[in-house]
Structure 1
Amino acid sequence: MATVNGSSYNGSPQPLFLYGTLLAPPLLAWLLTGNRANTNLVASITKPARLYGYSRTSLHGYDYPALVPASNATDFVDGLLLRPQTLSQRQKVDNFEGETYKLTTVTVNVSDESVVEAGAYVYCGDHDRVADEPWDPSTFVKERLEDWLDIFDGMEVLDDEGN
């Protein structure tokens, strides 16, 4: 049995609901494999998903969003359900997200009409940074993705074992 972010896992790690910068296949491929071109791997382990009861908002001065509870239970965030194939992949995502996000178990609706329990990184940082405007993944891809990939080029995120 392995432990990730305080939770124990037998077999495959818990699926994750992704809603921000990691919706960009090249960035997720870089994170999981070290190579932004490995988008086929990303496509094989993700599915479109929707999370109700939350909002995706911009953060003042940052390129990435916050996931926060919505004031209306019918509000939703579209994203991806990631099914990590290894504990290492899961730990890399946990390490990428950082300390201003709390892993929370949520229920997501998946494109194949199933309902799945997944982890979601809910913003727990300074709430003065949370903007009123929604965060748009397509704007991130058009305006900032290449800069992010350039910054991370040659770097890698490690799992807890240093892999």
Structure 2
Amino acid sequence: MADNKIAEKSSSSLIKISLIVNEQPRELVVDATMRLVDILREELQLTGTKISCGIGRCGVCSVMMDGKLVNSCLVRAYQANGKEIITIEGLGENGLHPIQKVFLEEGAFQCGYCTPGMIMAVKAMFDQYTHPTEEQILEGLSGNLCRCTGYGGIIRAVQKLSQS
């Protein structure tokens, strides 16, 4: 009888969601409380979005949702329903995005684990400011942590992009 209650609870929390991910319409049946980062990685095999802290403090899992930067570890399936999501894979679909190019040129990565989230944060910043000031750059990157302390290259890359 306990197994039936577990099965009932499991099936009752499943919902059908519709998303547009990297310009592709997707429909999925998932647990209503499944994290967006897990949907991207496990259901859609978009593993460029990484998982680190899992509590919204590091920015590693950053993606764009309806044009705004979000920590995908904090967004639940029911919250993502009907939204447009852009991941790191979506930026580079037609070759490297200019942000990705400048990160490579300036060596704006060390281990690379934070890089997808950093690039998404830079994308959000440039969507807001075409030529961000030093203060706007620091604020724009403030939600993203680099455990390797590779901030010098990251800031150089953003400044170079800002000058072009």
Greater percentage in strand: 1
- Tell which structure's C-alpha radius of gyration is larger: 2
Per the TM superposition, whether the score is higher than 0.5 is: no
- TM-score when scaled to structure 2? 0.27
Query: Which has the higher relative contact order, 1 or 2, with Cα contacts under 8 A spaced 6 or more apart?
Result: 1
- TM-score when scaled to structure 1? 0.27
Greater percentage in helix: 2
